[in-house]
Amino acid sequence: MKSLGVAIMAAGKGTRMQNKDVPKVCNLLNGRTLIEYVVDQARELNPEKIVVIAGHMREQVVKAVAGPGVYFAIQEPQLGTAHAVEMTRPEFEGFEGDILVLSGDAPLLRMSTLKRLITTHQQGNFAATMLVADAPDPIGYGRVLRTDTGLFDRVVEHKDATEEERKISEINSGIYVFDAIKLFENLAKVGNDNAQMEYYLPDVLTFLKNQGEQVAVEMAETFSEIHGINTVEHLREAERILAQRREA
């Protein structure tokens, strides 16, 4: 099995969280910051290195999770997910393992899901593996299209999807594993020719597929576990989910 590194995207402002005094990932869930949950998940995988990508009010992010094995990259300004991961390049210089990309605002991922994602990726020797979820109501989400053999084909945004494609319920979670060398070889190719003028990480999956590489798809156990926390209501829902898990 290849060595593992983890990159955690944690640079966002969280403008809908109604708390301007803290960055998004430092909002509290049951008394702990969101980013602490995600770093704990990463630690449980015994990675060689964890790199937290901080940006907005980064001093608070660093204070929340500073410790052995945790390193920091700075994304300023925030120009998209591919740009965020690109900021980790110096920390992963010479690293030849796999890199798991997590979101610092997604504290509900199950360890069983993450371990299965990494196992699928490494046992299949894939260039990248995307975690998807089966959405009960996928309206508004990008749909994940697979090849005839079940591998990644492409992501189609809802507004661009055909009626048949809109029947697909698999959506992108924003969680990935990449072969580190192939990831950084392709990040520099990502452009920002889109309405938001941002650099999107899923473009790397398309580049890899077009190069003849195999990109796998792994399904999350539940739809709720991939949810990012974007509002106060999302925080309350996350509290309910965690309470249910403790009672189960």
Q: Annotated catalytic sites, by residue?
A: 16
| Integer angstrom CA distances of residue 23 from 7, 95, 96, 158, 208 | 18, 30, 32, 29, 33
Whether the CA torsion 169, 131, 122, 118 is positive or negative: it is negative
Q: What is the DSSP string of 36-104?
A: HHHHHHHHHT--SEEEEEE-TTHHHHHHHH-STTEEEEE-SS---HHHHHHTTTTTTTT--SEEEEEET
Contacting residues for 181 by C-beta, under 8 A, at least 6 apart? 96
The Cα angle at residue 203 between residues 108 and 27, in degrees rounded to 5: 30
